[in-house]
Structure 1
Amino acid sequence: MWREESAERSFRLVVFARLLSICEWVGVRAEDVKSTWSGRTTTTSHQLRVSTMAAFQLLFPLLVSCVAASAHPPRHLPPCQVVQMDVFCSDRSLRSAPDNLPPGVQMLDFSRNQVQNLTQETLAYHTSFHHLNLHSNKIHFIQPGLFKDMIDLKVLDLSRNHLNVFALSKINIGPLTAVKSLDLSSNGLYTGMSDYFLADSPSLETLSLNSNSITKIAQDTFSGSSSLTKISLHNNVILEIEDGAFDSLNHLTELDLSKNSITCITDFNLRNLEVLNLSKNSLELFQSTRSKDSYKLQCLDLSENKMHYFPLLPGKNVLKRLDVSRNQLQSINVTGSSGKQANVIFNYLRYLDMSYNQLQSLPESFFNSMRCLEVLNVSNNCIRSFSVTEEGFLQTVKIINLSYNSLQSLTFGENTLLLLEELFLQGNDLATLDHQIFQRLPSVRHLQLEQNNLQICASDQNHQDAEDCVSFTSMPNLQFLNLSENNLRTLPANAFANTPLKLLDLSLNPGLDMDKDSLSGLEHSLVHLLLRENNISNLNTDLSSLRGLKHIDLSTNQLTTLPMWNKESSIESLNLQNNNLVTLEYSTMLALEHSLKTLYMGSNPLSCCSNLGFLHMVQHSGVVVPDIETVTCVHEEYSEPVNIEKVTQEMCHRAGVQNYIIAVVLTALLLMIVLGLLVKCCQSRKRKHNRSFSA
């Protein structure tokens, strides 16, 4: 009984001592707490009772954790890693920093631990931090004034905690005298809660409030952090931004409001802002103030919204990147009126993305002021025609993406698009083009034309007869050409003469008739050749002359024999899947063995014992067969196909011996039958002869 009373007394003393130190943080006198705790208090001060109750309500979670810590002594934990003045204690299930931290520690990584109450004791009474990382803990209480003496603290990461619980106490954590970077993301903060962390942060430059539950940005939200240059509010539920909310932030250059619920931006007037991200909202309208003032905005992201009209941008701008993709734009008008086409001057614009909209047309005059544009993306719209005929338009453009529209007409004038390097036209209805349209693009090196209806002109075809085909000869910089899914009927001789192609894709053109000299001129340049799914049964074209060819795809055809190669070939990757190959010529496989690195052979009716050379190559060379599990062959002793890895020469030799024995036995039986018949025939004749001379 005495031992139980003694243990209880010790327990109460521990809790009492902790309560004394805690109450001193909130301004409650130790004498008053002693009186309250012992039950012998004589004061009747209403203020004292209120402050004491407030202290208990605020610090109740801390008392519970203290009791738990006293009842359960800490287990042995792995030591922190110390590198000079930096300490790394992440992922160690710690509730407080070790007592043996080096004096003057500058960086403490205490992320992914079990901290619930952030106090001086939690940080082992150190105040010399420059960088303090506490993300992914369970912090729901911060000792008021904790950061007051941390005059060198520059970076503070409190993300992924439970600071919304602390914010209910309406106590400021400041001052954050020297903090320049503060991360409060993923803390469940509601509207107004961030004020208690930002109220006294005069040096703060970078702030992250990502992934919280903020619905409104009030006018005074950032009034205590006037030095902010970068604010990120990504992934909240912001519906409203009060007028003037960012006006006091004269140094603000980057603002991220992406993935919120903002519906309208009118009178945009942040002239010093350089980067603005409003993607993934519900924007139906974006308009800047009608002012002659210059704006510093360089990057504007309005993608994934609900805008029907082109944004009204500042007249004097230095915009370099504009993204209005994945909206509902039907024209480039700034309002519903057809007479208000976007006529903003884009003298500095380099990147314009209007993909995934509902644009019906794109007038050439729209590019009038785009003197520096390098990338134009209008893919996945409903554009039927596109033309650039004026020499002064799009002089600097390097990439144009017109893929997946409804293009039927395409026109490029002489001396236009002289710097264009990549042109994407896949997924359109192009069938009839000027046969030399691509020769007008002297710098083009990447041309995507799959999923159209184009035919290829012969190199010697007259211009008058070339109305239904396009030419790909004499294009000195073209290296990548994709003509798959074009319903190509023929590939004429010298189709790519004087064009140094490195990659040529002719796949998915069933019934393609290739001339034996169709690839002439590509002997030293062609590296990748794709001919899959063309129903080819016999490849007439001589591939052995393509000395530079390294990768070839002949899958899903009807080949019964391999193309011929010699020892000078450079084939490294060969895809022969889904063909009708029964026997692989040993001489061809031997010629490929010195260069071949990767071979695909699945889904062919191979004969096991007729391909021992291939079997030897697979088992004894460095050739990799990625689909080896699906490569099977037919063996007469087995009712089911046999995996090629399980075939041995003995299986075939044994089969040969057995076949020899059977043949010998059958031959012997046949000879015996023949001899028997001869003997019987002779005996029959002898009997007839004897009868004829009987008396």
Structure 2
Amino acid sequence: MDVFCSDLNLRSAPANLPRGVQMLDLSRNQVQNLTHETLAYHIGFHRLNLHSNKIHFIQPGLFKEMTDLKVLDLSRNHLNVFAHSKINIGPLTAVQSLDLSSNGLYTGMSDYFLADSPLLANLSLNSNSITKIAQNTFSGSLSLEKISLHNNVILEIEDGAFDTLDNLTELDLSKNSITCITDFNLRNLKVLNLSKNSMELFQSTKSTDSYSLQSLDLSENKMPYFPLLPRNNVLQYLDVSRNQLQSVNVTGSPERRTTVLYYLRYLDMSYNQLQSIPQSFFYCMASLEVLNVSNNCISSFSITNEALLQTVKIINLSYNSLQSLTFGENTLPLLEELVLQGNDLTTLDHQIFQRLPSLKHLHLQQNNLEICTSDRNHQDPPDCVSFSSITNLEFLYLSDNNLRTLPANTFGNTPLKLLDLSLNPGLDMDKDSLSGLERSLVHLLLRENNISSLNTDLSSLRGLKHIDLSTNQLTTLPMWNKESSIESLNLQNNNLVTLEPSTMLALEHSLKTLYMGSNPLSCCSNLGFLHMFQNSALVVPDIETVTCVLEDYSEPVNIEKVTEEMCQRPSIQNYVIPVVLIVLLVLIVLGLLIKCCQSRKRKPNRSFSA
């Protein structure tokens, strides 16, 4: 009994609606006046969707007899016009969900829709022009559980505006103009979103009462200090990113630390102005799993106390000013992902990552590290970093590190699945630099390294499936055999003229995706590749940019247009007849000339005497 009439340019519901209709969707039509006639005199609706019309008038008492109506969507209309009449639309005796978003409503207008809604649980007033939440705004809707006021212009919230809503668990006040919360006391609230305001202070009351708040979003505000949270809380998610935090102290004074965050699992303090985070800050965070302090000004980060961050799985320190990084023995036992990208690190304890027993993902892009050799007889450079024997490391990103050499056995006893060595121009790879990765390595990225030839034998990497060699200076393909498992190969922007037939034949059984654009290929020297492309399931996503040069043409030709016939040289038989004819013609002419000359010599001299 659901009727869908959206996008039909209607001004009212169809007159022939069957009896017993429970859901009517009249969204995105041309309804202007909402009356009994508009709804074809039906009153048994359970759900009524009228969003995106032009409703500016609602017949008084229209919903009084709709005792089964639970969901009413009036969003994206012109209800601000109706509100000027100062008439309540109620009672909404059974309505549990009401959407009044995008109606041009400003302060006080919502009262006419909420005055008599005893069972209303879910209310949306998003994208209106409300500037103030008055003390009596929700006095007629005391069952509210979720209120969304996103994208208004709220400047003021009167004391007690939400105090009578004992069931309220979710409150969205994001994207408004609120400057401070000085006495937060909503003990039953579980989710509070205050992001994208102008908050300079968040402070709860100094009560020892238990608070139910689990998620607090304070991102994109102007807070210089860490929020003062309820002492007795169960907060699990806290986002204070994109503020102006200069320290993790609550008021800026060392004696006032943050409150206990025993249950906190996710903490985001990225995009602030933090210069340091003392270890004591983590003393009461026994459940923390994700710590994001990226894009700050932190120069030193240290965890040496075994009792700290025992449950943390992800630490993001990217884009700071790290000069010192220290992890003590037996610390961070569950850390799986460490992000250190964009710190320009040059100095690290060479065994620092071996101390992290659960480490799987290590992001070291955009630093300036030097790699140790695993050869004990070889003199390592000072402050080099070792990547061997990191027992659980599977994903390692070392792109853009100014790496010059990659020693032999660099990753011995480290079960890498992905290795990114891109953007290290001039990288000199030892022939055994990838030794030890024969079975584990699946992804290898070597793009933009200015490589002209690979010394490393990639054919020994039997588990390798995806390799990126784009934007180098390769003139020949790496050698592979029929035991290779390459599925995806990127050779874009190189200097390849000929793809060796033996190599392409070896890859034919496994290769599924090939990128070949921007190479100076020869059309007739790559007929094997052409045959492979035309007669297999091989996908070339950049086929439109894959061109080659024919001997008879100066301009490159798209490889899709090349045929084997274009490269077939005319046979010798085709030349025989023209050559024979020319020779015969020359012989005939010579014969005629010789005969003419002989006839002249044989003529007798005739003389006369007087």
Q: CA deviation at 1:465?
A: 4.2
Higher relative contact order (CA 8 A, sep 6+): 2
- Distance in 2 (alpha carbons) for counterparts of 1:266 and 1:383: 29
- Distance in 2 (alpha carbons) for counterparts of 1:250 and 1:616: 73
| Matching residue of 1:483 | 398
| Root-mean-square deviation over aligned CA pairs | 2.0
- Distance in 2 (alpha carbons) for counterparts of 1:661 and 1:545: 50
Q: CA deviation at 1:632?
A: 1.6
| Matching residue of 2:24 | 108
| Matching residue of 2:516 | 601
C-alpha distance after superposition, 1:203-260 (max 9, x if no partner): 1111000000101111111111111111000000111111111111111111000001
Structure 1 or 2: more helix by fraction: 1
Report whether the alignment pairs 1:502 with 2:417.
Answer: yes
Report whether the alignment pairs 1:432 with 2:368.
Answer: no
Report whether the alignment pairs 1:445 with 2:357.
Answer: no
| Matching residue of 1:567 | 482
- Distance in 1 (alpha carbons) for counterparts of 2:153 and 2:22: 36
Match 2:180 to one of 264, 273, 278: 264
Q: Secondary structure at the match of 2:458?
A: coil
C-alpha distance after superposition, 1:505-540 (max 9, x if no partner): 001111111111111111111111000111111101
CA contact (8 A) 1:382 1:406 kept: yes
Question: Quick one: structure 1 residues 176 and 450, their matched pair in 2 at CA, closer, same or farther if it must change by over 3 Å?
Answer: same
CA contact (8 A) 2:345 2:368 kept: yes
- Distance in 2 (alpha carbons) for counterparts of 1:393 and 1:496: 30
CA contact (8 A) 1:218 1:241 kept: yes
CA contact (8 A) 1:315 1:344 kept: yes
| Matching residue of 2:598 | none
Question: Quick one: structure 1 residues 559 and 341, their matched pair in 2 at CA, closer, same or farther if it must change by over 3 Å?
Answer: farther
CA contact (8 A) 1:435 1:466 kept: no
Q: CA deviation at 1:638?
A: 1.1
Superposition pairs of residues 74-85 of structure 1, within 5 angstroms:
85=1
Which ranges in structure 2 are unaligned for 5 or more consecutive residues?
A: 587-610
Q: Secondary structure at the match of 1:276?
A: strand
CA contact (8 A) 2:248 2:258 kept: no
- Distance in 2 (alpha carbons) for counterparts of 1:327 and 1:394: 24
C-alpha distance after superposition, 1:472-499 (max 9, x if no partner): 1122211110000111111111111111
Match 1:384 to one of 269, 276, 299: 299
Q: CA deviation at 1:642?
A: 1.9
- Distance in 1 (alpha carbons) for counterparts of 2:327 and 2:377: 21
- Distance in 2 (alpha carbons) for counterparts of 1:443 and 1:514: 28
| Matching residue of 1:218 | 134
Q: CA deviation at 1:264?
A: 1.2
Aligned-partner residue type, residue 208 of structure 1: S
Match 1:493 to one of 408, 424, 437: 408
Report whether the alignment pairs 1:582 with 2:497.
Answer: yes
Paired residues in the alignment total 581
- Distance in 2 (alpha carbons) for counterparts of 1:224 and 1:369: 42
CA contact (8 A) 1:135 1:161 kept: yes
Structure 1 segments of 4+ aligned residues over 6 angstroms from their partners = none
| Matching residue of 1:68 | none
Q: Secondary structure at the match of 2:560?
A: helix
Q: Secondary structure at the match of 2:459?
A: coil
Q: Secondary structure at the match of 1:387?
A: strand
| Matching residue of 1:288 | 204
- Distance in 2 (alpha carbons) for counterparts of 1:520 and 1:237: 62
Match 1:528 to one of 443, 452, 456: 443
Report whether the alignment pairs 1:555 with 2:470.
Answer: yes
- Distance in 2 (alpha carbons) for counterparts of 1:462 and 1:371: 44
State which drifts further: 316-325 or 426-435: 426-435
| Matching residue of 2:248 | 332
Q: Secondary structure at the match of 1:544?
A: helix
Report whether the alignment pairs 1:511 with 2:426.
Answer: yes
Q: CA deviation at 1:333?
A: 1.9
C-alpha distance after superposition, 1:348-385 (max 9, x if no partner): 00000000111111111100000000000000111011
Aligned-partner residue type, residue 595 of structure 1: S
Aligned-partner residue type, residue 624 of structure 1: V
Report whether the alignment pairs 1:137 with 2:53.
Answer: yes
Aligned-partner residue type, residue 421 of structure 2: L
Match 2:371 to one of 456, 467, 484: 456
Q: Secondary structure at the match of 1:197?
A: helix
- Distance in 1 (alpha carbons) for counterparts of 2:306 and 2:449: 41
Bigger radius of gyration, 1 or 2? 1
Q: Identity over the aligned pairs, expressed in percent?
A: 84
TM, length-normalised to structure 2: 0.92
Aligned-partner residue type, residue 96 of structure 2: K
Match 1:304 to one of 209, 215, 220: 220
Question: Quick one: structure 1 residues 462 and 168, their matched pair in 2 at CA, closer, same or farther if it must change by over 3 Å?
Answer: farther
C-alpha distance after superposition, 1:658-691 (max 9, x if no partner): 9x969x99xx99xx9xxxxxxxxxxxxxxxxxxx
- Distance in 1 (alpha carbons) for counterparts of 2:359 and 2:386: 14
TM, length-normalised to structure 1: 0.81
Match 1:627 to one of 538, 542, 561: 542
Q: Secondary structure at the match of 1:591?
A: helix
CA contact (8 A) 1:312 1:342 kept: no
Report whether the alignment pairs 1:125 with 2:41.
Answer: yes
Match 2:67 to one of 140, 144, 151: 151
- Distance in 1 (alpha carbons) for counterparts of 2:157 and 2:37: 40
Q: Secondary structure at the match of 1:420?
A: coil
C-alpha distance after superposition, 1:287-340 (max 9, x if no partner): 111111221111000000111111111111111000000111111122243x24
Aligned-partner residue type, residue 216 of structure 2: L
| Matching residue of 2:601 | none
- Distance in 2 (alpha carbons) for counterparts of 1:253 and 1:309: 26
- Distance in 2 (alpha carbons) for counterparts of 1:429 and 1:365: 27
Question: Quick one: structure 1 residues 657 and 331, their matched pair in 2 at CA, closer, same or farther if it must change by over 3 Å?
Answer: farther
- Distance in 2 (alpha carbons) for counterparts of 1:304 and 1:312: 17
C-alpha distance after superposition, 1:409-464 (max 9, x if no partner): 11001111000011100000211111110011111111100111112212233798
- Distance in 1 (alpha carbons) for counterparts of 2:552 and 2:380: 60
Match 1:651 to one of 560, 566, 570: 566
Q: CA deviation at 1:153?
A: 1.2
CA contact (8 A) 1:334 1:340 kept: no
Report whether the alignment pairs 1:170 with 2:86.
Answer: yes
Q: Secondary structure at the match of 2:537?
A: coil
| Matching residue of 1:277 | 193
Q: CA deviation at 1:657?
A: 5.3
Report whether the alignment pairs 1:359 with 2:274.
Answer: yes
CA contact (8 A) 1:474 1:497 kept: yes
- Distance in 2 (alpha carbons) for counterparts of 1:552 and 1:348: 43
- Distance in 1 (alpha carbons) for counterparts of 2:14 and 2:401: 69
Aligned-partner residue type, residue 328 of structure 1: Q
CA contact (8 A) 1:176 1:202 kept: yes
CA contact (8 A) 1:127 1:149 kept: yes
- Distance in 2 (alpha carbons) for counterparts of 1:110 and 1:235: 26
Q: CA deviation at 1:634?
A: 2.1
C-alpha distance after superposition, 1:595-640 (max 9, x if no partner): 1111111111112211111121122221111111211222221121
| Matching residue of 1:76 | none
C-alpha distance after superposition, 1:37-79 (max 9, x if no partner): xxxxxxxxxxxxxxxxxxxxxxxxxxxxxxxxxxxxxxxxxxx
| Matching residue of 1:246 | 162
Q: Secondary structure at the match of 1:411?
A: strand
- Distance in 2 (alpha carbons) for counterparts of 1:90 and 1:239: 37
| Matching residue of 2:331 | 416
CA contact (8 A) 1:434 1:467 kept: no
| Matching residue of 2:554 | 639
- Distance in 2 (alpha carbons) for counterparts of 1:648 and 1:554: 28
Aligned-partner residue type, residue 202 of structure 1: P
